[in-house]
Structure 1
């Protein structure tokens, strides 16, 4: 005797909703094999197997219009048809893993701006923005020439020296050092900045003011634990270089 399952039982077994089963029936994707005397939909074991295949294909991201055609394929042909979906699935898994890493870093206190949400490192984002804004200027062209041969280690070393300068700025800011006591640190900052490009004093002032005005720069400075640091640097660089 054939075993049939009511719609309620199918929803309990599979976890999908009655509404979804109604919809699959309406579009002809999965119609129940039997109707009870009261016209209730009744599903056979074979119907459940077909539903399992539908849910499998849907989970892979196959559009419903394609699922109907794939349902007609034997397993070997179906395997051939699904080969391309494995690559897409692996890409989705990698994307989700990356998103989970970002979430973990954010929950552990990392600033959102420091996460490579745009699919490229923050430094590369800044570089692209600089190219768009200053690509035709001599300063940017010298920057390109000097950094073209830099290795990742070279870049990290420059960044390390820059962070050391920012730490000194931070100490002075916490001490509320006045303008007449910060010329030497501004000169040191200028020296590190000019290792990458022939920045004029005017451009350096614009960069320092960007620390204060650009929200992403302000987020970068949060790691120094002083929300006033960008404004302090901008004020003192402007005073000594303008």
Structure 2
């Protein structure tokens, strides 16, 4: 199959397939004399596994490392995908059931206890850290925490002031295009700022921006500087990362 056919089949863009080829994640088995990429059934099977990993939140770098291992076993990977997706479905079903009951309670159709209202929620551990560890690995998160822990009170205060200054600058730009030169310059400052505290790849930076919107607590905190800032930062961070890949 040609690259356009594969893109339509998998529901992804041609640009994504080109990017996978460029970073060594998925090379087409053959290239014609005219330079056209040709994908085999084996390539499609590998692409399917890559997309399963993506659905579960794995960064591209980690996916490449996993599928490139000499001992990589496709069936074992599929069994893992199956297990993790079932767990994800179970969590979503519990949340949906709680939401449906809450809606009936609000309409006066049923009585709902306070305990029932929170069925399915579990914030016994830090969800931000869990997500960061899943996406970027323990080493980056531990390094960031160690860096912050080593700072004095004054240094931590200066760090917070620097962070807030960038937020305010981005808030002033949030009604412009995330791809504008001003927005990209400001979001570049944010990327450099984050890397003062830890080590964030471009892919991690892009994923973090998506989390700003997906997790309402991130959104709420960021949008204190201006409504819609979280979504603006997500788009600007995505643009910044894509330009530099």
Max radius of gyration: which structure? 1
TM-score normalized by structure 2? 0.42
